[in-house]
Amino acid sequence: MFNDKTALRTRLLAARAEMSPEQRQQAALALGRRALDLLPEQPRDGLPSVVAGYVSMGAEPGTHALLDALRARGARVLLPVLLEDNDLDWGVYQGADALVAARRGLREPGGARLGVRAVCEADLLLMPGLAVDRRGVRLGRGGGSYDRVLERLAAAGASGGRGGPRASLVTLLYDGEVLPEVPAEPHDRPVDAAVTPSKTYRFDSATA
């Protein structure tokens, strides 16, 4: 299983590295427009929608324009802060100028840290990934950070969370990264949807 995942990650990362800056920019704009449609129209309990996103890096599908668009729509956007043990703390996104350089080439929100459980407030969780299959099984980079986040969200949903339905789980990908099958392990939790520049895939209903 480990070798299968490693080989698939290597292939997918190589394909991303071959994309030109122009292709990545065009994909980021299209992806952002499509992903923005997932923002809940009616915030719960009169509170702003909460979106847990991330700052894209390297050849990942770009999220910078999307983060600003979410803020412009009135969402409260949370961004991850990588801890020493690979778990994720969270901070509020206050704009690109407020991001600070962090370990491993990441950029993180400056200001107060909200704690690892802050993600449990989210209505929508946007996750990086390398691929998703038709069951909603996501292939990440192997660090395990989002496995912990998903466990936390599942526990919060089982206990009622923010007083409503659990967060929608969405992976942002390039076209061609929704595959028939990716290697899965018993602890893997499926996502609800994958968004690519050209299509939104929903795994609990027909695709749109």
Q: What is the pTM of this model?
A: 0.90
pLDDT per residue over 28-44, tens digit each?
A: 999 999 999 998 766 66
Q: Report the DSSP beta bridge partners of residue 109.
A: 99
Determine the Cα–Cα distance for residues 26 and 177; give it in Å rounded to an integer: 17
Residue 82 has pLDDT above 90, yes or no: yes
Give residue-wise pLDDT tens across range 103-122. 888 999 998 999 999 999 99
SS (H, E, C) 37-84: CCCCCCCHHHCCCEEECCCCCCCCCCCHHHHHHHHHCCCEEEEEEECC
> How large is the average pLDDT for residues 119-141?
95
Domains and CATH numbers, the chain: 2-202 (3.40.50.10420)
